[in-house]
Structure 1
């Protein structure tokens, strides 16, 4: 029997996970694959960036936290996955050489109303560096089997989405023409949607990412996945999210190249302070092709960073069947015209 079942995770319980050493090589490897912005991949370019030094991708930080939670909690538990993330805040940069720990607190728990064999646990994660500075916080629910319940298998993704709560559908109702120019903060139009690109999730890629950051059985073992809630090998939610970032960076790189080709100075993007309301609505199975989109939902001038504005955006991923599998509300610093 696994060490942790739903009944063992009582509100108020706190555990420190880690440590995890962030090497320069690992920081660069993740960023080069998923988030190749200059301040993540180029030390020289990073000196002239918003932050002024080489830093880890925020999605890398999320994935590191996932690895710590998997190793020291989930892999020896009745965990069945998470429907999404309420909120992530990237509070301080993570740099090469940092040593991270994750303070895990159980905030609340409740049995599932629709599935008596399942319980839901709400966690808060606070990632600390070697100076005990909080660099990252996250809140989300995780599903766990109850200790004496019969195993649950093959129930599909709807259980995940319905288990926590019904949330409003922020899917854009229409798509306007793609932005083909080089938009600065002032040029961005609220309501405008851009298609970022598509990505096919191959089995080997799913397993490789999961072995590094999220080695739960339904992400790393096709046979074991058949007897899980998902029914087949599926991608880690953080893999799905990191590929969104990969597509966003590729899209911005194409805009930048077009601007340079026409003699214009490309608008820069800064880091993101975090995101909210991330939903993994359906599993991303091996062989699925996900198309990612981003819609500007709001913007405001930054009071703390002259020359920059903060842009808010709704992001989504849709599979080859037209089903939305992923969404979140993001924000990013965006350069203003000078």
Structure 2
């Protein structure tokens, strides 16, 4: 029996997880693969960026918190994964050499009404650096098996041969498209862009999870067959990191096209955070997920002249036409320069 079950997480308790020191190589390795913005991958370019110095990707910071939680609690628990993240805020940048600890607070705990052998635990995390500055906060629920409960039946994985419920591709996108090189002032709520598709291979799922989220159903195909998910599936943080990877590739394509036309590309800054992240269905090995982003609003920044915040709703749909991933995000976006 694992050490930690649902009953061991008592509301009101707080623990410190970690520490871990984040190296420059750690920051570069994650960012080069999933978030290659200049302020994450290039010290020289970072000096002229929104931030002014090399910093870690926010998604990397979230993965660091996940790994601290996994090492201290999850890997020796009855964890059955998380349905999503209610809210995450990136409050201060993480720089090379920072030492991070996670302050984990149990906020609430509820037995499942539909599945008596499962309980849900609500957590609040505050990731702090060596100066006791909070760099990230996160609120979410995690599912745990109850002690001595009967095993939960595994989910039925859709057959690989099933046809998609709707065509997946550029032609399936409805509504207007972003302009070729939009500044904040050009953005229109409702504009939708398809960011691309990604097939989650077994070795990629395992490689990501071993580093950031090594739960058995992400790293061990045999053990995964006896888990709630019934087969090997990607970490939710992996599905999110791939969204970021495709978003940056999409923005780079826009940048290159703008330069070819002799235009100065609109720049994007960091994100303050997101809300309502949902992992709606497992992403299994071999699944292909198509990601889209829809502009939901924009406003000028009162504290950053020349910049504003763009708000967007993002989704991932698998080859069966099922939505597997969604969240509401925001990002600093450059305004059109005055002439």
Q: Does 1:242 pair with 2:241? A: yes
> Aligned-pair distance for 1:155?
3.0
> Aligned-pair distance for 1:88?
0.3
2:5–2:78 Cα contact (<8 Å) kept: yes
Q: Does 1:295 pair with 2:298? A: no
What do residues 231-289 of structure 1 show as CA deviations (whole Å, max 9, x unaligned)? 00000000000000000000000000000000000000000000000000000000011
Q: 1:121 and 1:27 mapped to 2: Cα distance?
A: 31
Q: Does 1:217 pair with 2:229? A: no
Q: 2:55 and 2:65 mapped to 1: Cα distance?
A: 16
1:55–1:94 Cα contact (<8 Å) kept: yes
Distance 1:127 1:239, change over 3 A: same
Q: Does 1:7 pair with 2:12? A: no
Q: Does 1:310 pair with 2:309? A: yes
2:185–2:335 Cα contact (<8 Å) kept: yes
Aligned to 2:163: none
Q: Does 1:151 pair with 2:134? A: no
Aligned to 2:167: none
Aligned to 1:65: 65
Name the Cα RMSD after superposition: 1.2
2:82–2:142 Cα contact (<8 Å) kept: yes
Q: Does 1:102 pair with 2:102? A: yes
- The normalised TM-score by structure 1 is 0.94
1:180–1:255 Cα contact (<8 Å) kept: no
Q: Does 1:268 pair with 2:264? A: no
What do residues 127-180 of structure 1 show as CA deviations (whole Å, max 9, x unaligned)? 0000010000000000001102011131369xxxxxxxxxxxxxxx97224325
> Aligned-pair distance for 1:223?
0.3
> Aligned-pair distance for 1:13?
1.1
Aligned to 1:333: 332
> Aligned-pair distance for 1:2?
1.1
What do residues 46-103 of structure 1 show as CA deviations (whole Å, max 9, x unaligned)? 0001110000000000001000000000011111000000000000000000010001
Distance 1:51 1:43, change over 3 A: same
Which residues of structure 1 form unaligned runs of 5+? 158-172
Which residues of structure 2 form unaligned runs of 5+? 158-171
Aligned to 2:284: 285
Q: Secondary structure at the match of 2:312?
A: strand
2:179–2:186 Cα contact (<8 Å) kept: no
Name the count of aligned residue pairs: 323
Over 3 Å off, 4+ runs: none
Written as runs of structure 1 = structure 2, the 5 A alignment for 1:107-122 is: 107-122=107-122
1:313–1:329 Cα contact (<8 Å) kept: yes
